[in-house]
Structure 1
């Protein structure tokens, strides 16, 4: 699963989750917009930035990074991107940085070079492994816990989250948005399950009623009835990937869709992870050239 992309999608869809994670009121997110920001020199890209709204009361820019793989030069890159941002956006009034490490062992061992920054109030490090056993009534924190949950307890945690969402939110767009985020996490945690296994996992009526799941499942059923089990799994994966691509990039040209339809099950699974990072059709075309057509 492309875990960092899932986090960024959550922060973009429900930005209050980020401030809840910091122990701040979720309402603080109302003064911010979450974006990916490119700093042109050296082609740096800050994947997660909470930018103050023009009329917002808080002028602090929040830089966010999710780190699941050990990288000895992570801090070199992260702080270089931040200070290059200041050069290009000199009107910045204040800033803070938050790093979400999956666990303590992922953090670089050598931090001496950045000790002043890391010891300051402007930089906060959060270790997601600490969230797993933390009781919470927050939907946002519960969603982050689901990402790191062990497979054998994921379904139970998803059920609890759906029940919590149903009790806390009205049956409107907010509820549907949270349900679809739960669904997205579960789909990408278990990308190779068969239709029967996915149906069993998504036995909750709320999950089964979400548009993405229903459309993907129905397309897979219609075509899978005529094919064997392996081809049926490929067709279901194809239906889901096409739906996600169309949601991300809009309608696809016939030629591009035909290339996607020709992919194997393994290629579709790889594309399903990669597409969360796509910004436009160019990214999809580059992926097809470098992966699908080789």
Structure 2
């Protein structure tokens, strides 16, 4: 926190108010909020910062806050297992009243869905609860839920396609170049689907392991810098 504070202060030449938002599930013990550099004869530095530890906050305290950040962060607060369905429902209900632009709605609703996953039974009960909402609110919530479903289907299709392409590659490689070492296998598994599809075609021209190594090196060099 002190390093972030010092670098931001140096870069922007503005006062910086330091706040740490802790989103981990455990531990739930109070976390430090001070950094000190001290010697036997002198305290050289005492840096104090605010800590918002989500797992020590009660989600019920934020139900009535018309704040998009609160609707997202509720998903990481102190939630009893029996309350998970209600929390997700209340997050959706709050989002439906905030009238956010599409980009913010996608960002916040995606956070909620990622960090507050329900079981199949809970999802079924959630759908039943949504059906009891008043029409305008229900329409907004259904748009959010539908986007979650579409994203889940797309991710499932991508994962399925990746698995199928990997299976094809690992069937063909031994026939072309023999067994490969674990490091090369890990490298191949880390490739994106389009790269895997390219490899599935390129390996037909491989005659030894060096061809595979050269191809992977070329792909790495062509990848855009982050």
Name the TM tier (shorter chain): 0.3 to 0.5
Structure with the largest fraction of helix: 2
- Report the TM-score, using the length of structure 2 for normalisation: 0.47
